[in-house]
Structure 1
Amino acid sequence: MTPLNQLHVFNAMHSSPHARLEHSAHLGDGLAAALWRNRDDARDYQAPSHHTLSCYIADGTGTFRRQRPADKGAPNKLCIMPAGHESNWVVNGPIRLAHLYISEEQFALGCIRLLDREPREMQLQEATFLDDPQQALRFRQLISLDWDEPGERLLASSLAHGIVDHAVLCQAGLRQGLRLKGGLAPHQRRQLIDYIESHLDQAITLGELAGRCNLSEYHFARMFRESFGLPPHQYVLARRLQLACRLLRLGDLPLGQVALQCGFASASHFSNRFRQALGATPGDYRAAFRR
């Protein structure tokens, strides 16, 4: 995950003399969260490379987008600021709000897993002052957790994934006027998804995947990235880790068996990859959900 101070929206807020950061944390898997207070300010976000979901926690009734001064915020209102979009905000009076920052790769995984669509043909649709009680509740649960405590940060990560999944299902739409060039054919993409899902407990090589599409490894890797939004090895690892999280949450398999079922060569390799992605060991993850 990009360091917080390199995320455009976070950095724009942090640079304001009026805004105060209450709390922030990386939540793993290309997700990060921040809780802010601000008042009497103006903020501009210019084509960030990440998506931002925000929820007004308190006040905000004097906040509006510069182009829409008649529409004002309020507690529990949600805003969606997609990657690549510009938005300009005026804050009159106080506001307390939560941000969830989402990498393009995490959005891509959601498009493939939940929508069976190529990420490049989808976009997160911009929204201002959206009413969504489910999402507002998830945000309030998210900020009630202590992100500095490892177990609670893992619970926060699970909540953040729920927020992202809901946004992908409800707020992602097809890009208008897009003409796709290159990439894999839809039947090849679906065939690869099914093959990877059914072989997560086995070694999956680039050559093996390329051969299923009758392509060279080099050409396949490029086409895969165009269609999936991330490289083959990164996609396979993400699917392995998601399966591992499900097994750890819902079952009692020894960690060594979880590692083998998810295609990791050893428990130590599994633990290292899991820690890199989620900032905690598999044992810590299981314990957090048992509590």
Structure 2
Amino acid sequence: MSDFSEQDLSGSSFQQVDLSGSTFRQVDMSGLDLREVNLSNTRVRAAYFDGVRMTGVEIPDLEIYGEVVRLLVNGVDVVPLVEAELNRRMPERALMSPTDVAGFRDAFATMDRLWGETMALARTLPTEKLHEQVDGEWSFIETLRHLGFAHACWVGGVVLAQPSPWHPLDLPWDEAPVLDGVPWARRIRPELHEVMAQRQQRRRTVAEVLDGLSEAALARPVTSATPFLTDATGLTAADCLRVVLSEEWEHRLYAERDLSALSR
């Protein structure tokens, strides 16, 4: 098995080559021209697709989970259809895109209630199960830790402009750069009550922000004070809080799915 690390293979041509079972990490694959390739059983995670066009493809079975803004299938943008169906199945989801202070308070209160139901299920499982990964995704504990990191970035680091809003249990995303002063304790195995204390601290911060937030402040531009999210300039406080709500919603769904699998 060959190992290609830190090499420039741009512009290479692969014809009648077997790359099955290969692993690609932190690889620039923009501008690829793929023809007559077999992508069966491919797993893609934390990838960025923009301007991708597929023609003459056969898709007997394809699953996509993520932030999809525009997706044309045979000339039809299916995103509005998917959004409407998801909101029909889960009416609370429509609350996760608020535009005023009252809407944000309602949305976060709704998330607290939903997470309360999820936590009730988590407490029925032994601690080792909460550290177990399903299908290579984060464990339940890691999910809570990452949500703490998301709160730190978007609320502490951007809305409140704190240069170092981190908690020792905060967990960045897998591909995040290692930066001085930012927690990167991936191998630790904290107890549930420890990550819950971290989470409660984050929620108190959000509550304090919302309590003192006016409609004008909600719409004001913000600037990141942390080494992450350096492109946050021009966003508003409302944009940042909506990102947190989106993270909370999506990760709770993943957590529910994984907890159900672990409890069988």
TM range (shorter): 0.3 to 0.5
TM-score, L = length of structure 2: 0.35
Q: Which has the higher contact order (CA 8 A, sep 6+)?
A: 2
Q: Going by fraction, where is helix more abundant, 1 or 2? A: 1
Q: Going by fraction, where is strand more abundant, 1 or 2? A: 1
TM-score, L = length of structure 1: 0.33
